[in-house]
Amino acid sequence: MKNVLILGGTGFVGSHVCEKLVRAGWNVTVATRRRSHARHVMHLPSLTVQELDVHDAAALARAATGQDAVVNLVAILHGTQAAFDKAHVELPQKIAAACTSAGVGKLVHISALGVNVQKPGAPPSMYLRSKSLGEAILLASCSQLALTILRPSVIFGAGDKFLNVFASLQKVFPFMPLAGAEARFQPVWVEDVAAAVVKSLERSGAGVQTLEACGPEVFTLKQLVEISAKLAGVNAGQGRPVFGIPGWAATLQARMMEMMPGAPLMSRDNLASMQVANVATPGMPDLSALGIQPAALQPIARDYLSQGSPWHDLLGVRLRSHFR
């Protein structure tokens, strides 16, 4: 069995990646600051949890020793410039050094659509600029490895903090004023992203491959918000009115959300990122290069969003007929 070190393995995408790698026969080590964060993957056979600070270069180098591969899933969506640089620029630099010193042969790095490796300072948001610079560092430092860079669009699936959040909000509010309503996305299923990680680790030979991970359909943010409510059975399956708000109001809304406790639903940096369409680039290799046919959003989202909805079962069908 081969050994793989997973950074960010306790998150939404990470848990799916860990399960698929275990099923594929890998010995998986999940690095996390606190062991309790990995409770939901501890049960997997051939998986070990190792407590360490992944930003500690020396600890990271020790953890990489004896590994055949490393997978980096660490990312943040909100924060200061320093926080983005720490997660998306400094950490990839430390990962590259650790892989080189430990003789790791393969590295899979999850990046994002909208990066610009040629001009890392060009994208409109701190998120995309830091992601761009992180990619550029890996490309310059890992030429001797089998390096795979995956650039996903927004990722959906059971337990996501995207469609689930919008559906939950519409269970509470009678209408949805929406910033960035016309921003375009090409959502990809978390299982397809996890499968892409596994297949990327299975490829032979060194060299770099950069792939975009997108689903088969393009939606505006407004369409996705409307779909989430309808599939969750909100308002008897009719959803709520969703309307876009102008740029100045969107900025004000995002600023107010940033002031609330916890991770904001929307930040000003998120708004800036949405200036770049989150869709596939013509001519770029995609999941089909790995033999993956990406799944459509609505059949899968319907399954997990409708769980617990009174409109999901046979009684729900009758109720919908009654209210039409």
Residue 150 and residue 264: Cα distance in Å, rounded? 26
| pLDDT, tens digit (0-9, with 9 covering 90-100), for 297-323 | 999 999 999 875 444 333 343 333 333
Q: Look at residue 291 and tell me if it is in a domain.
A: no
pLDDT confidence band for 59 (50 / 70 / 90)? very high
Q: Look at residue 44 and tell me if it is in a domain.
A: yes
Share of the chain above pLDDT 70, in %: 95
- pLDDT of amino acid 308: 54
Averaged pLDDT, 236-264? 90
Q: How many domains does the chain have?
A: 1
- pLDDT of amino acid 314: 35
Q: Look at residue 194 and tell me if it is in a domain.
A: yes
- pLDDT of amino acid 144: 83
DSSP code string of 284-312: --BGGGGT--PPPHHHHHHHHHSTT-TTS
- pLDDT of amino acid 263: 79
Residue 278 DSSP label: B
Residue 55 and residue 171: Cα distance in Å, rounded? 39
Domain coverage including residue 123 = 3-156+188-213
- pLDDT of amino acid 324: 36
Q: Look at residue 99 and tell me if it is in a domain.
A: yes
Question: What sign for the dihedral angle of Cα 227, 232, 236, 237?
Answer: positive
pLDDT confidence band for 44 (50 / 70 / 90)? very high
CATH number, domain containing residue 108: 3.40.50.720
Q: From residue 244, how far is each of 16, 198, 223, 270, 275 by CA, in Å?
A: 34, 39, 11, 16, 15
- pLDDT of amino acid 205: 81
CB burial of 271-299 (b: ≥16 within 10 Å; e: otherwise) equals bbbbebebbbeeeeebbeebebebbebee
Tell which residue, 296, 114, 269, 271, has the closest CA to residue 181: 271
| pLDDT, tens digit (0-9, with 9 covering 90-100), for 80-95 | 999 999 999 999 999 9
Averaged pLDDT, 4-19? 96
Query: Which residues of the chain form beta strands (DSSP E)?
Result: 3-7, 27-32, 47-51, 69-72, 106-110, 146-152, 155-156, 176-178, 184-185, 188-189, 207-213, 219-220, 242-244
